[in-house]
Structure formats: C-alpha cells, structure tokens
Amino acid sequence: MIIRREWKRSRKSLLVWSLILAGLIIWLLSIFPQFAEQQESMDQLFAAYPDSMKDMFKMNELSLGTLIGFYGVEVYMMTTLLGSIYAAILASNMLAKEESEKTIEFLLAKPVSRTEIVAQKAAVVILNLFILNAAAAGASLIGFQFAKGYDVPYKIFAFLTIGAFLLHLTFAALAYLLSAIMRKTRNTLAISIAVVIIAYFFNMMSSLSEKIEALKYASPFYYADAAAIVNEKQLDPLSVLVMLAVCSLCFFAAFWVYKRKDISV
C-alpha cells in the first residue's frame, strides 16, 4: 500500500522533528519557574523595549509572568513556526518526488488510480502532522509539571493545540498543491518554505503600522494567533472556518491538478 510505503519513508524525519520539538518545549517550560520569580526585573526590562517590538511578539497582550502567557509567547510561537516548516517540507515532497526521482513509472504500473495516489499520500501527511502535534502536546503536559503552583488552563491549552494543528495543516495543504503542480522537489521545497517564512513575516510586520495591517489577513499565522486564543479563551470560529476552507480547497485542487497532469513515464 502507498500509505505503508510513505509512512516508512517519512517516519525517521518525523521522529527527529518530534524529538527536537518536544525537547525544546520541555526545556522552555522547565525554565519558566525561574523566569516567573524574576518577573519584576523582567517587567522593567521589557518596559524599555520599543512598543513595536512588544506588538510584534505580543508582549503587550500576554503576560510572561503567567504560565499560559509564557506558553503563548515562547512555546506556542516556536511550535507553530517549526511545525509549519516541517509541514511544508513533508507535503512539498509527497507528489513531486515521484517524478523528480523517476519512480512515477513504478507507481503508475501498480493497480492504483491517480486519485488513490493523491488520497493516500495526503493521509500520510495528515497522520504525520497529527503525531507531531500529539508529541508537542505531550511534551507540554510534561513541561507543565515543572511549574508546580501555577494554574494550567487546560481548556485554553487545548484550543492552542488545535490551533497549531490547523495551522500546520494549512501550510501542508498549500505545499501539497504545489507538489501536485510542480515536477522538481527542489523547487517545490524552496517555494513551500518561502511561503511559511513570508507568511510569518507578514504576520509580524502587520502589527507595526496601520498602513500594512491588512497583511495579517494573508498570513495563516494570524488565524491561529496565541494572544487571541488566550484572551478570548476560545478559537475564533471564523478563523477555524478560513483555515479549513484553505485546506479543503488546496487538497481538492491537488486532486484535480494531479488527475489531469501530463506525467511522462
């Protein structure tokens, strides 16, 4: 089966990314108690920061002295960015690599349709992202044990976890569509990672001036913003709808493109 084949090819990189991400999360949460103890001096330090920097990193919306505020600023930001890069790398290789590595002839010789190829490879992408986010959530729960005496709002944490997964899935869907369109994995990979970096840049820069504030709507990061989730204690339904719509459109477009693609064998 294609699912089994792709799972075997991707599980090593998934393990590496999961271990690195989990390790970073546990390390960050382990230093929170010391960070919180020095909150007064840290507040004085942050007060000297330019307002633009506070806006960029949501320091004016989340308190680093609270566990969930620290999680939103430090841990969630890292999880969403690194996870999005992994999602882009994973999905951008799925379809294009068959032509790039000249293995498409072997694959098409099997009793399997192009629709099944796209569907099974998409399932592997979703499975990998689910496992990555499960590892991140598990590492967070372990890391919270270092912060004894601090309340853990598990409902908000659950919304942050879902938001990160939907964000990763959105970037994976965009990269998967590129993988269906293009033939060279090198080009697909470069563009997919560039999309993540540019989207992150748009979201950061949009807070600096009202003139460029509209840039945030072009960035998937805006729709899974930690400050909004923590302060509103929920995932904005419209943001969820936007991310799901982008995912659905990109995956369906990948089916449509790949089914009609001129593949030379």
Contacts of 71 (CB under 8 A, 6+ apart): 29, 140, 157, 160
Residues 74 and 135: their CA atoms lie apart, in Å, by: 17
Backbone φ and ψ for 260, nearest 5 degrees, come out as -105, 0
pLDDT averaged per 10 residues, the chain (length 265): 86 96 96 76 58 59 82 93 96 80 66 85 96 98 89 94 98 95 83 95 82 89 94 95 97 91 66
Q: Are 44 and 65 in contact (CB under 8 A)?
A: no
Q: Which amino acid is at 253?
A: A
What six digits make up the tokens of 191? Answer: 């563009």
Q: Are 25 and 135 in contact (CB under 8 A)?
A: no
pLDDT in tens, 34-65: 877 776 566 555 555 555 555 565 566 777 77
Angle, vertex CA 67, rays to CA 62 and CA 69, nearest 5 = 10
In what helix (H) or strand (E) does residue 67 lie, and over which residues does it extend?
helix 67-70
User: Look-up: residue for tokens 């999905």?
Assistant: 91
Q: What is the pLDDT of residue 65?
A: 77
Determine the pLDDT at residue 162. 97
Measured CA to CA in angstroms, residue 176 lies from 52, 145, 192 at distances of 35, 37, 9
Angle 137-142-145 from CA coordinates, rounded to 5°: 130
Q: How far is 191 from 88, CA to CA, in rounded Å?
A: 9
* Whether 29 contacts 146, CB under 8 Å: yes
Cα distance between residue 182 and residue 164, in whole Å = 27
